[in-house]
Amino acid sequence: MNSTRLCSQTSTSNPSSKSNIYNTLKWLGCLLLCLVFNAGFAQTPHGTIKGKVKTSDGEPGEFVNIALKGTNKGTHAGNNGTYTINNVTPGTYTLVASYIGLVTQTQTVEVKAGETTEVNFTLTENNQQLQEVVVTSGKRINKFNRQQSDDVAKLPIKNLENPQVYNVVTSELLKDQLNINISQALSNVPGAIPSIDPAGGTSITLRGFTAEIAARNGIQFIAAGRSSVDPVNVDHFEVLKGPSATLFGNTVSSYGGAINMVTKKPTEETKGEITYSAGSWGLNRVTADVNSPLNKEKTVLFRINAAVNKQQSYLVNGHNNTFTIDPSLLYKVNDRLTLSADLEIYHEDLTRTPYLRFPGLNITNVNQIPLDYRASLYSDDFNAVTNTFRSYFEAKYKISDNWTSQTNISVNNEKVSRSYQAYPVFISPTQVERGASLFGPITTINTDIQHNLRGDFKIGSVRNRLVWGLDYVHTTSDFTYADAVVDTIDITKTYSPVTRLRADKALASGFTGLYPSEYNQYATYASDLINITDRLMTLVSLRVDRYQLKGDGGYSQTSLTPKLGLIYQPVKDQVSIFGNYMSGFTNNGPTVQPNGTRVVLKPEHAFQWEGGVKVSTANNRLSATVSYYNIDVRDALRYDNANYTYQDGKQKSKGVEVSLTANPVEGLNLLAGYVYNKNQYIRATEGEGKDVTGTPRNVANFWGSYKFQSGSVLQDFGFGVGGNYAQKSYYNLENTIVIPSFVLVNATVFYEQPKWRVGVAANNIGNKKYWSPSFTANPQPLRQFIASVSFKF
């Protein structure tokens, strides 16, 4: 009663509130407060059930689910096999001990008021069998970790068997942080700093290079990089480190790595979840996730995810309004053949990131730009509208116990109705020339047909895990472009933002162009993980690519990209010492020299060698990787003062990388990363011996989350705290203009029940002013609050 009165009084204490969002946050805060009071004044639990789960060989039965049949009460056995269920109403129940892949056991239990009843279970499985089932089923006490991936090596192998470093951003981590955008999600990757391109794509730094989300469930994802994606349909992100063109091709992988988005899949459960989020800058967001079998045999499974997002910019003008709906269908034709189809329909109406340049300023730090941090030189209607339709089809056929065939077809259709992009330029300390570009309409259609044959077989006593693949990509794009200077303003005087109408008038007499393009890419690749012994493995891989650009100025190129790896496990399935040699490439078209001669260029290549150690404890409570890498970029283009082209440029990126996820005690999950990277031009027309722009040498990230366990006064409450650090980087090739270092701190608090969840998040708690370490060097979001309520059914 007291808590309800308190919330009632609070809700009317500020009738002059200027924003609906504060009322929304206030009500949600009251709800959390009420829950605290209710937990404090709840009646004493009627009865308690506790006990211990053991395996057949007497070891603790960790992770096993314990539930009271017919109720929503339950828990799981901890690391010593013990469990406790509190607040049980007196009566007779059936207690169930279960786990996917284990024999389910039941016992009848009578609960009496004020008493503790002990019920123990002994599993029919031994400890080794239990651990194998835990790994297979994907049960994670360490919820920020994934032990295995089907996509990273295009083979279902464990992290410790893979000589390549990769990091995973799990759905549990996204939920902890109340994540509403992919930039926030990818900031959990060691060494990654997100940036939004003025064209619309989201990228991150990886080992001194930029990488975009270009793969979805292992196949090409991006159509043209002029639209984004909503995280509502994302189960987790896999971020591969180093040149990964051998298995993914150069359109997916950069020299620093590749980002693979793994989507949510239909399951045999009937379940759903609806979430509403509200927050700073007018955020209103609704998401839904509904899953259900469509027949009694559960051979036809359906799932649909959807999101509506509306939000204003942290700048004076700007908005980000998006809508997505993602249905997926899975059909188990028989015990050998499975068919699946996924659709993604995405619409966005937003203002693009401006590209501010300042040749007229004599500054040494971007924080010296004489423009207010939140200033916007362009109006809210100076926007971009994009509609994207993506479709994915998969047929997986089990040829035998050792061989599987997998065929994927994806069609990405991206339609940019209009994309107004801002290009302001400081021509003096007080004057800004406001330029505008209009891209669109743009239509890009990308088709990818990929087939993989996977085998697990022995030659003599040597085990081989092989994938052989064929990949065909066809892309067409046809777009119009206009560019013009709108006006020049004095920022010391009153000025109005550039509207779409004013921009259109300037663009009507400005430069226009039409740029169609079409290309084909054919590839075949093979990769074999060979067990020389059960602890010593080698990975041998090779890809052959044929690139064909059609039309005037078209050309063809062929590229070979090898990949080699070595793994030794001094402690079986717990410690791996690894080394790798990987490669990537970029196609270069012919060029005409100033004297009229035509030069046929070869592809630019990058080669990485790396060595390190991976650790994963037997119960998956700790997973860590430490490595040293060296990436050499060769055959880069270079130009002399007479504008002649040379293909002898060189670049070197090297560094140390550390990542860790841990679950030291029940309810506590930790994630941390640190990367030192030195990326410089070794031979170049400009910037030789200097750091590559937008590449901080030291980058770190951390997130810790704790949920109070059963029996605690704060049972079902939880909180998380973390942040990101990036050292200074450079805006220009001469390294004379600094993008300053920054430290960001974020936090969340939540209360979770089986059927609902309430949470509040605060991002950039210190209201830190910081700038993107990219070629745009844009000011980034200030302090943001988000409140969220979820209902499950």
**Amino acid letter for position 749:** V
| DSSP code of residue 315 | S
Task: Report d(CA 26, CA 279) in Å as an integer.
Answer: 11
For residue 441, say if its preceding peptide bond is cis, omega within 30 degrees of 0: yes
Q: Can you give the pLDDT at residue 224?
A: 53
Assess contact for 681 and 648: CB atoms under 8 A. Answer: no
Architecture per CATH, domain 271-792, reads as Beta Barrel (2.40)
User: Is the pLDDT reported for residue 64 higher than 90?
Assistant: no
The token pair at 424 is: 């302001």
Pairing label, strands 157-158, 148-149:
antiparallel
Q: Which amino acid is at 535?
A: R
The Cβ of residue 600 has, within 10 Å, a number of other Cβ atoms equal to 10
pLDDT band at residue 597 using 50, 70 and 90 as cut-offs? confident
Taking the C-alpha atoms of residue 304 and residue 265, their distance in angstroms, rounded to an integer, is 9
* Token couple for 551: 């039309």
Nearest to 354, CA basis, from 207, 216, 199, 229: 199
Rg, the chain, Cα only: 28
Q: What mean pLDDT comes out for the span 231-245?
A: 94
Structure tokens at 179: 């994540």
Strands (E), 181-245: 194-196, 202-206, 209-216, 219-220, 234-241
Comparing CA positions, the residue from 360, 410, 352, 11 lying closest to residue 197 is: 352
Which residue has tokens 């100076």? 382
CA–CA separation, 483 and 486 (whole Å) = 9
**Of 18-22, 127-131, 461-465, 756-760, which range is least confident?**
18-22
The percentage of the chain sitting over the pLDDT mark of 70, rounded to a whole number, equals: 91
Q: In whole angstroms, what separates CA 156 from the centre of its chain? A: 20
Tracing tokens 């297979």 back to the chain, one arrives at 136
Read off the pLDDT of each residue in 291-305 and give the average, rounded to a whole number: 95
- Band (36; pLDDT cuts 50, 70, 90): very low
| pLDDT-derived band at 134, boundaries 50, 70, 90 | low
pLDDT at 1 over 70: no
Q: Is residue 720 within 8 Å of residue 760, measured between CB atoms? A: no
Residue 137 has pLDDT above 50, yes or no: no
Residues 772, 729 contacting (CB under 8 angstroms):
no
Torsion of CA 84, 87, 89, 90, to 10 degrees: 60
> pTM for this one?
0.82
pLDDT of 42: 41
Share of the chain above pLDDT 90, in %: 69
The predicted pLDDT at position 278 comes to: 97
Q: String of b and e for 127-142 (b: at least 16 CB within 10 Å)?
A: bebbbebbbeeebbbb
Rounded mean pLDDT, 759-766:
97
pLDDT at 100: 58
DSSP 3-state helix, strand, coil percentages of the chain (rounded to 5)?
10, 55, 35
| 46-139 against 271-792: fold identical | no
CA-CA-CA-CA dihedral for 207, 213, 218, 221, to nearest 10: -150
Compute the average pLDDT of residues 35-56.
Answer: 64
536: left (phi over 0), alpha (psi -120 to 50) or beta: beta
Mean pLDDT of the chain: 89
Residue 177 tokens read as: 């942080």
- Give phi and psi for 534, each to the nearest 5: -70, -10
Query: Which among 683, 682, 689 is positioned nearest to 730, based on CA atoms?
Result: 689
Residue-range domain boundaries for the chain? 2-40, 46-139, 271-792
CB atoms within 10 A of CB 373: 14
CATH number of 46-139: 2.60.40.1120
Quick one: pLDDT band at residue 493, thresholds 50, 70, 90?
A: very high
pLDDT tens for each residue of 253-266? 999 999 999 999 99
H-only helix segments in 643-769: none
Q: Examine the pLDDT at 102 and tell me if it is beyond 80.
A: no
Looking at residue 21, what is its pLDDT?
44
- The answer, yes or no, to whether residue 457 has pLDDT greater than 90, is yes
Q: How confident is the model at residue 57 (pLDDT cuts 50, 70, 90)?
A: low
Average pLDDT over residues 412-441: 94
User: What is residue 358's predicted lDDT score, i.e. its pLDDT?
Assistant: 94
